[in-house]
Amino acid sequence: MKRFGRVVLGLIVALVCAGALLAASWYYGGTTEYARFKSPDGRHEVVVYRHPMLFAMPGQGSDAPGTIVLLNQAGRELKRTSVGMVQLISDPRWDEDTVGMKLLFKWKLPAK
């Protein structure tokens, strides 16, 4: 009986791990680009990615969570933050040494 309990416990752990892997691959595999904003000087980009939602009512597609990423000209990631709803995204404000989006982030840009 002791061996049977270990087998059942092992199967439960394996099923939980497989479920977690499937959920993670669905979540990150379904990530799509939502918006892209280039800096006026062309040296940086702010890219917004939308993550899929498990369930959404009609009209709630923009309520999905997302990730905001700052990239340099070569495409290397410089900064990253998450956002609860991609509908909060607005055009970023580009200054000479900073970029920001109202209520979401304000990042210092690397020197030239």
Q: What is the DSSP annotation of 15-75? A: HHHHHHHHHHHHHHHT-EEEEEEE-TTSSEEEEEEEPP-S---TT-GGG--EEEEEEETTS
Q: Average pLDDT per run of 10 along the chain, which is 112 residues long? A: 79 84 63 92 93 70 83 94 89 94 92 76
pLDDT at position 10 is 84
pLDDT at position 62 is 57
pLDDT at position 59 is 65
Structure token digits, residue 26: 């669905």
pLDDT at position 86 is 87
pLDDT at position 23 is 66
